Amino acid sequence: MKRAPTAALSPRTLLSGLALVVAALLPLLLPTFQVTLLTNILIFAVLVTGLVLLTGVVGLTSFGHAAFMGVGAYTTALLSTRLGWSPWLGLLAGFVTTGSVAALLGLITLRMQGHYLPLATIAWGISLYYVFGNTPALGGNTGLTDIPPITLLGVSLTNPRAFAYLALVCLGLTALGAQFLLSSRTGRAMRALRTGPLVAEAFGVNPFGLRVQVFVLSALMASLAGWLYAHNQRFLNPTPFSLSAGIEYLFMAVVGGSQHVWGGVLGAGLITQLRETLRDVLPGLLGQQGSFETVVFGLLIILVLQFARRGLWPLVERWLPQEPLRLLPAGPGLPRRAVPATGTPLIQVAQAVKRFGGLRAVDEVSFELRAGEILGLIGPNGAGKSTMFNLLTGVSPATSGRVTLLGQDITGRSAAQIHRLGVSRTFQHVKVLPELTLLENTMMGGYARAHAGLLRSMLHLERREEAALQHEALRQLERVGLGEQAGQLAGNLPLGQQRILEVARALVADPALLLLDEPAAGLRYGEKTALSALLRRLRDEGVTILIVEHDMDLVMSLVDRLVVMSSGQKLAEGTPDEVRGNPAVREAYLGVDLDEPTSGVAS
Ligand SMILES: Nc1ncnc2c1ncn2[C@@H]1O[C@H](COP(=O)(O)OP(=O)(O)OP(=O)(O)O)[C@@H](O)[C@H]1O
């Protein structure tokens, strides 16, 4: 595996340093009118960074973030003009006000699914805009004037160049915090949320809680942008905080590349500069005044969605030198779970029932899984295997009956709670994050073994924990035979290896029980053989496994015992030989060869 020495400066780091120097010189070198434009770009980029985290990474589309910018801007403007507060106190007050409004709106709206959430963001975006325009204390549609400048170390930042530096520092800190966040445990959980709550919950994440946190964080970034805007413009009216402004910020994120922090910055720069240029050029070309740039933006977004769906930044990134895999220095390992003695009942299912309306998909099923064994759960299509799998993993609760894990009742517990008690799983339809490396995907499995939250991650104060996760993930990748590919993108792996990657991810959780949902589905012969050998090796190393599988050759040659289901009920239970000889099973599997495989995936 290609790894970089920890201390070496990669070409990419050098390039970033160069970009930083250029950015630092821009406010000095540009003509004054361009500096004003640059400041606006930097302010918008602060807000768009929040949208990248919320919309691009977590997948929650918000049209209403301009309104949060307005809350921050009006709070500081009001306090500094009417009460004479320092703008710095106005910044803190803006955070408190915006954070409270966002937390309230988030708690109310973030449980919504599909297009209901974007509709809700439109609704509160419009509402807040009307609050700004119709509140006499906020100056109504005329707005607030004479907002004082920001004073820093006794210097009043009325000079556009000085203000540009303040905006640059604010963007630098925001973007750095966002980058740190994305490369952390919490960032990986945020990315997992984009695929829906299933994967995140399966590794111990509270999806709703995390969504609310990221929503509030992105609103705070908008509030910071609002603070800068208010003290740069020195007057305010509601127009920059309207729904159309909110849509334009979303444009910036989408055009630049909504899943990348630097994509957001690029989008803010391109759209703001383009708007200025079009405003100058279009009236001359068309012979009349009007907001024609909006029409061009509409066409631009259609083109980008058509030809560069992930925005422009991924196209830029193709030309940048790739970062080699960097491992943090190894430190103390993660705490390990006590391993139950071989033969101890690990899972006990008693009289489990799951009803869907009138259908009993699982009908009074009881069985036991013992530590150190591989138990197969088989049955013809519609037998109830997946439903049983969902009861064991907490994806859906049992209608009645009881499931215990190491003597602890887990009936009705959430997927995240069950995972934290020691159950780790793979998915029937592979759910890896294709744009992340194998190492990052695998580290996701250790979410519940670490603790750093959003703030510690943004400040990069979780490096020891992150190092432990990295080394544990690499150990598990090496254990399943993927160590050499740790730095590759998961999306480049063939399906068979993606399934093995899911096994490594599940193992990082240090599970008491590994649950595999049809791991051989879609695999070629050679891949099945490799999977079978791996699972047998894991069992020999003491890992307890429950496998739901259709492939009879694989199951019969692999498992220690089987539970056979049919029409929701348990049909049989026993060793592969006992099950093979059971007439009821042979009847249920009419047409399927249950006899000893002559070749195939057997050992
Ligand atoms: N969410 C649901 N709502 C209604 N019915 C469901 C639901 N999930 C499963 N069922 C029904 O429950 C029965 C058992 O389905 P389940 O998916 O558990 O079977 P299975 O053994 O996993 O089948 P397969 O091997 O085809 O995946 C089927 O009749 C199915 O249609």
Q: Can you tell me the mean pLDDT for 94-117? A: 93
What is the pLDDT at residue 482?
94
Q: Whose CA is nearest to atom 12 of ligand 1?
A: 361
Instruction: For residue 347, give the H/E element and its range.
Output: strand 345-356
What is the pLDDT at residue 594?
61
What is the pLDDT at residue 541?
87
Model confidence pLDDT, tens digit, residues 287-303? 888 778 888 888 888 88
How large a percentage of the chain has pLDDT more than 90?
A: 75
What is the pLDDT at residue 296?
85
CA nearest 425: which of 199, 206, 210? 199
User: What 3-state class would DSSP assign to 3?
Assistant: strand
What is the pLDDT at residue 286?
83
Of the CA atoms within 13 Å of residue 251, those in its CB half-sphere come to 25
Mutational pocket test of ligand 1: of 387, 391, 392, the residue with most ligand atoms within 8 Å of the beta carbon: 387
Q: Please check the confidence at residue 596 and state whether its pLDDT lies above 50.
A: yes
Q: Is 163 left (phi over 0), alpha (psi -120 to 50) or beta?
A: alpha
User: β-strand 408-409 against 400-405: which pairing, if any?
Assistant: antiparallel
d(Cα 75, Cα 59) in Å, to the nearest integer?
29
Spell out the domain ranges in the chain: 35-242, 344-422+511-598, 436-510
Q: Please check the confidence at residue 542 and state whether its pLDDT lies above 90.
A: no
What is the pLDDT at residue 522?
84
Token pair for 234: 């020195």
CA distances from 107 to 101, 102, 103, 213 (A): 10, 8, 6, 10
CA nearest 91: which of 233, 214, 226, 215? 226
Q: Tokens 């807000």 identify what position? A: 47
CATH number listed for the domain at residues 344-422+511-598: 3.40.50.300
Output the DSSP codes for 19-53: HHHHHHHHHHHS-HHHHHHHHHHHHHHHHHHHHII
Q: Can you tell me the mean pLDDT for 343-369? A: 94
Higher model confidence: residue 7 or residue 268? 268
Model confidence pLDDT, tens digit, residues 190-233? 999 998 899 999 999 999 999 999 999 999 999 999 999 999 99
Q: What pTM, to 2 d.p., does this model score?
A: 0.91
Token pair for 587: 């009847």
What is the pLDDT at residue 346?
94
What is the pLDDT at residue 601?
44
What is the pLDDT at residue 592?
63
Q: Can you tell me the mean pLDDT for 111-126? A: 90
Q: Can you tell me the mean pLDDT for 173-199? A: 95
The residues facing 515 across adjacent strands are: 425, 546
Q: Which atom of ligand 1 is nearest to the CA of 428?
A: 27
Q: Please check the confidence at residue 172 and state whether its pLDDT lies above 90.
A: yes
Q: Please check the confidence at residue 7 and state whether its pLDDT lies above 60.
A: no
Q: Is the CB of 143 under 6 A from ligand 1?
A: no
Model confidence pLDDT, tens digit, residues 433-450? 999 999 999 999 999 999
Q: Please check the confidence at residue 1 and state whether its pLDDT lies above 70.
A: no
- Sign of the CA dihedral 48, 54, 55, 61? negative
User: What 3-state class would DSSP assign to 266?
Assistant: helix
Q: Whose CA is nearest to atom 26 of ligand 1?
A: 381
User: β-strand 155-156 against 151-152: which pairing, if any?
Assistant: antiparallel
Q: What is the mean pLDDT of the chain?
A: 91
Q: Is the CB of 519 under 6 A from ligand 1?
A: no
Q: Which atom of ligand 1 is nearest to the CA of 568?
A: 14
Global ipTM: 0.96
What is the pLDDT at residue 584?
86
**In this predicted structure, which of 105-114, 189-198, 314-323, 581-590 has the lowest mean pLDDT?**
581-590
Q: Which atom of ligand 1 is nearest to the CA of 396?
A: 1
Greatest pairwise CA separation for the chain in angstroms: 90
